[in-house]
Structure 1
Amino acid sequence: MHGIFSNIVILMAVAVASVWLFKRINLPPILAYLYCGILAGPDLLALFEHPEDMQTFAELGVVFLLFSLGLEFSLPKMIAMRQMVFGVGLGQMLLTTVAFMGISMLLGVSLPSAIIVGSIVALSSTAIVIKQTNDMGILNTSRAQMAVSILLFQDLAVVPLLIVVPLLAIGGGESLSVAISLSIVKGIVVVFILMSVGKWILPRVFTEVAQTRTDELFVLTTILVALMAAGLTYSFGLSMALGAFLAGMMLGESQYKYQLEADIRPFRDILMGLFFITIGMRLNLTDLLAQWHWALLGLGAMLLIKVLIIRLTGGLFGVPKEDAWAAGFKLCQMGEFSFVIAALAVDHNILSTQVGSLILSIGILSMAMTPWLVTRSSDFAKRIVNAPTPALEASETLASQHEQMHDHVIIMGFGRVGQSVSRLLKSEAIPYLVIDADPVRVHESQSAGQPVYFGDVRQKDILRAVGIERAKLVLITFDEHNKAMAVIQLISSLYPDLPIVVRTRKDYRMSELYSAGASQVVPEILEGSLMLVSQVLHLSGIPMSRILKRVRKERKGHYGNMHGFFPGETTELSYEKQDKLEFMHAVVIANNAFAVGKSLTELNITRSGVKVKGLRRDNIELENPPSDTILNIGDVLVISGKPRRVERAERFLLEGD
């Protein structure tokens, strides 16, 4: 037991170091996990005698990955892009699979193995390509639409491939056709069951769970749904990944989509990391060293052939030459699902360990090149077609502006304040998005056509989902101080230049909110008082220009003149408030007081955080008395500050302690 624990700690340390190192050199974490698996494998550190024992647990990563993929799957989007998806995507998948099937069979590979090899090579890396294009800011441009369409079809094709791989292990024409037919029937039954559950039961379950406002329960329910769906398909003899995908697809159109994705992502990333580590452990370094020349030859052939096939497929469906070439360079690598299918094929003895190691080697090398290829894809395409390189492509910019919201306001909390703000923003044609944690309110708002999403604003994935990196302003309207502090600190750390406006009922919390990173804090009580004073001054005959000047001065000074009040018997002074509220207190200077005959400068009571608000002498009130004012017997000095500081200042004025 002690040895296993030590090996797990060593594995985690190697994983952390590998991910850090690969991120430093701008390589994707997937490669880091594969590298970690190679180090921990039997040929090097040999941390585990039976690495296959980890496989079952690691496969949960694939389940959660397919669940996330289902959440991202949008039927309306696919219908809108159907020509590209089912035209270019299907064409690329079929041509690439057939081409590499033929090459494999010429090299003496059996038909079932050749089908798997062709399918593996036909897939591209959705995770790396989407992330890289998103980081470059071109994900939703017309230039990237062809690549996105192909990736979407490939993601759809993964599901039947995961079903077909175990069936190919059966072998035999009649038995294989019977098995496939039976699987289709089972698949129809499973889809019907899951769709029925998703339509009638799951929305009610998640509505009930969301109303408890318990984050742990929401996360547990999400995991349970994914695992139960996976277990259902597994019990029918189908892939667990299929059930997870269907469960995600059912919930993808609900108002809980972003929150579900954010909740499942930590588990998905950790377990997917473990999955790729187990794949890395399968890499036989002896085989790799023996066939390194085949790995390099296979890499070059794969990159070249995939680029040409994608260019050909794009041309058949009328895609501009430059866009087709660029998509080819973006998608010429293997994908993360290639490793999943390869591992499954090796487990079912469709592929030999030697062939699996060769495919793994080619895949790792191709994925390592992907960030560079994606970055340079447009340049390569322009050179091939001899197109000029404009300083700025207006079509891409306009498409990006059309498809992604820019310079919008993100409203956090959609209560009365948030809704009032949204109406005024809408009247001024200012775009906005809303995040709220009340499921009933989200449902009602969405039904009315409001851009409101359910989610926890303390999670990075939720913030990114509403495009916080492109927003012009964040408005926090909910009155939960600790939650607001956490959100402000998170946003400030990620986007330090993004303005954050916070609404709070508690004026004594202002300094904390400002120190956390808020750009502007609007205290509800003080702002209400300011509006009330404005009305009173206006009805009293004060010119509006003078009133507005006074209001602007108070706001600019963070309501400095409005802080502090005289407490009474009904004033609640809790432990939380006693060091944050500012009280005002009148100190009568008696004939034997320490302060008699001394100036305010000599006394220097402001050093303890107390402010001098006024002085009353001989029934004459003096606001903000000069610092050289000498106190006399009978003077009444009005001071303001936190309760304990006011007490100390009074004791000092009277006794000198």
Structure 2
Amino acid sequence: MGHAQTLIAMGGAFLAAAVLARIGGRIGLPTIPLFILAGILLGPNTPGIVLVADPHDLEMLSLLGLVLLLFYLGLEFHVDDLKEGGRRMALAGGAYLALNVGAGLGFGFLLGWGTSEALVLAGVLGISSSAIVTKVLVDTGRLGNPETKPILGIIVVEDIFLALYLAALQPVISGADSLGSAALDAGKAFGFLLLLAAAARWGTKVIGKLIATKDNELLVISFLGAAVLVAGVSEWFGVADAIGAFMVGLMLGSTSSGERIRALVHPLRDAFGAIFFFAFGLSIDPGDLPTVLWPVLIAVALTLLMNVFAGLVAARIYAFGRGPAANIATALLARGEFALILATMAASAGLDERLSPFIAGYVLILAVLGPLAAGRSGLLARVLPGRDADGDGTGGGPAGTPDRTPLAAGH
């Protein structure tokens, strides 16, 4: 009976996500908030049909969805992009983190919930959802746009920061007094990041030969195994599993098998990505939200403002106009999986009980608002300072218009 329930939950999750996405497509809504809505409506926290009583039942499928989303993101972000634009990428990513993490920390102290709580809120407000950003870029057809490189670069910088932040935060919120232990964890995470970067920089040819095969079945098994294995090893070293999957995609995307891998991973990415967002909805209890409504709305407004500033800064660094600035600001708006990880850490450490509903409400609003805003970024571009879209590197159209370069058209 247990296996039957699991299969029913899995099949129902796929079908519910598909039905809502079809409905949304007819009225022009993006799929991400609809997948999340399906999880909320069919989960244990709302009345009516409960398809999945325990969100942990879909935990592994959800994790696989996250791994595949970030693996695909790595396939689109070539090693040459890192080598050629490293300085500008670091500046744009650093500016984004300074604005958003700084605002989150200040907001946390203003709430008066405590120092540990403020440090948690700095991460919640400061880090974008890599999974949602990836899906937004795919859905809007902007993977070939020039401003997508700084967007992906900021995500990379965020993930590097994330590894170090988590290593430093854990002993602080748990009350540990060993700075040596925290330094060791941070050093271990940073060392593994350097190892992954070195493999991406100098090991591509060897990796390409190891994975090369004419058999599509073997190729799928090979790249899927590599992405999942490295994601797991990354987690063990204190690095986010997402960045491990991203780095594998970065390596394989530059090999002779890269184009075939992109084509083969598409259906896997879309199917399991839908489950990731569905499971995300399962974890949200709408009944908790009224108790923290005003702090949530203030935090959302603050994040909107900081993202606009960050988009303008990144556009200036890359000499883009206001169209790409609006695309950058809205594409990076959503918060997601990392914030939920922090909510779990905070609950385990016995921090203020208002943190969990706050994070759930904040993430839910931005997970819905982010894709909607990205699809209508042209409205924001009209009110931003700077040049119009013509000649400013938007990739052939105004903000919010899918790019029609061969790369984007293939997705």
Q: TM-score band (shorter)?
A: 0.7 to 0.9
Structure number with the higher helix fraction is 2
**328, 331, 341: which one aligns with 2:329:** 331
Structure 2 distance, partners of 1:95, 1:233, is: 27
Q: Match of 2:88?
A: 84
TM-superposition CA deviations, 1:44-72 (whole Å, max 9, x none): 23322321232233112222223223222
Task: Pick one of 140, 145, 160 that aligns with 1:139.
Answer: 145
Specify whether residues 164 and 60 from structure 1 end up closer, same or farther in structure 2 by C-alpha distance, changes over 3 A only: farther
For residues 169 and 397 of structure 1, the distance between their equivalents in structure 2, rounded to whole angstroms, comes to 41
Give the corresponding residue for 1:497.
none
1:93: how far off?
1.8
Measure, in 2, the Cα distance between the counterparts of 1:260 and 1:339: 27
- Alpha-carbon distance in 2 for matches of 1:104, 1:78: 34
Of the candidates 88, 95, 111, which is equivalent to residue 99 of structure 2? 95
Answering whether residue 57 of structure 2 is matched by residue 74 of structure 1, we say: no
CA apart distance, 1:161: 0.9
Q: 1:185 to 1:287 in 2, by over 3 A?
A: closer
Residue from 119, 122, 133 that aligns with 2:123: 119
CA separation of 1:158 and 1:25: change in aligned 2, threshold 3 A: farther
Name the residue aligned to 1:32: 34
Contact 1:183 1:238 in 2 (8 A): no
Q: Which residue is 1:203 aligned to?
A: 208
Residues matched between the structures, number: 389
Contact 2:340–2:360 (CA under 8 A) maintained in structure 1:
no
Contact 2:167–2:189 under 8 Å retained in 1: no
Matched, 1:246 2:268: no
* Cα displacement (A) at 1:12: 2.8
Contact 1:288/1:361, CA 8 A, preserved across alignment: no
Name the TM-score, length of structure 1 as normaliser: 0.52
User: 2:222 aligns to what?
Assistant: 221
- 1:149-548, aligned counterparts within 5 Å? 149-162=150-163, 164-165=165-166, 167-171=168-172, 172=175, 175=178, 178-185=181-188, 187-188=190-191, 191-192=194-195, 195=199, 198-199=203-204, 201-207=206-212, 210=213, 213-311=214-312, 317=317, 319=319, 323=321, 327-328=325-326, 330-332=328-330, 335=333, 338-349=335-346, 352-381=355-384, 393-394=390-391, 396=393, 465=407
Aligned-residue offset at 1:102: 0.4
Structure 1 counterpart SS, 2:91: helix
SS in 1 for 2:256: coil
AA at the equivalent of 2:74:
G
Matched, 1:130 2:137: yes
1:28 Cα deviation (Å)?
A: 2.2
CA apart distance, 1:220: 0.9
- From 12, 15, 19, the counterpart of 1:13: 15
Contact 2:43 2:282 in 1 (8 A): yes
Matched letter for residue 178 of structure 2: S
1:467-518, CA deviations, whole angstroms, 9 ceiling, x for partnerless residues?
A: 569xxxxxxxxxxxxxxxxxxxxxxxxxxxxxxxxxxxxxxxxxxxxxxxxx
The 2-side partners of 1:42 and 1:28 are apart by 24
- What is aligned with 1:426? none
Provide closer, same or farther for how the CA distance between residues 20 and 82 of structure 1 changes in structure 2, counting only shifts above 3 A. Answer: same
Question: In 2, are the aligned partners of 1:116 and 1:165 still within 8 Å (CA)?
Answer: no
SS state at 2:53 partner: coil
Deviation track 1:81-116 (CA, whole Å, cap 9, x = no partner) reads: 345322233212212211221012211244444344
Tell me the C-alpha RMSD between the 2 structures: 3.6
Distance in 2, Cα, partners of 1:398 & 1:10:
39
CA distance in 2 between partners of 1:465 and 1:138 (Å): 5
Query: SS of the residue aligned with 1:169?
Result: helix
User: With CA pairs under 8 Å and 6+ residues apart, which has the higher RCO, 1 or 2?
Assistant: 2
Larger radius of gyration: 1
Q: Distance in 1 between matches of 2:69 and 2:134?
A: 10
How far is the alpha carbon of 1:36 from its aligned partner? Answer: 1.0
Specify every segment of 5 or more residues in structure 2 that has no aligned partner in the other structure, as ranges: 398-402
The whole-number CA distance in structure 1 between the counterparts of 2:394 and 2:407 is 20
CA gap 1:99/1:377 in 2 versus in 1, 3 angstroms:
same
CA distance in 2, matches of 1:290, 1:397: 42
Query: CA separation in 2, counterparts of 1:249 and 1:398?
Result: 23
Instruction: State the one-letter code of the partner of 1:105.
Output: F
Following superposition, the deviation at residue 335 of structure 1 comes to: 4.9
| Alignment TM-score, normalising by the size of structure 2 | 0.79
Q: Secondary structure at the match of 1:331?
A: helix
| CA distance in 1 between partners of 2:222 and 2:22 (Å) | 32
1:50 aligned residue: 54
- Distance (whole Å) between structure 1 residues aligned to residue 8 and residue 395 of structure 2: 55
| In 1: Cα distance, 2:68 partner to 2:342 partner | 20
CA distance in structure 1 between the partners assigned to 2:13 and 2:308 by the alignment: 37
- Provide the rounded CA distance (Å) in 2 between the counterparts of 1:56 and 1:149: 31
Q: Give 1:102's aligned amino acid.
A: G
Which residue identity is paired with 2:125?
A: V
More strand by share: 1
In structure 1, runs of 5+ residues without a counterpart are 407-463, 470-657
Report the alpha carbon displacement of residue 261 of structure 1 after superposing the two structures with TM: 2.4
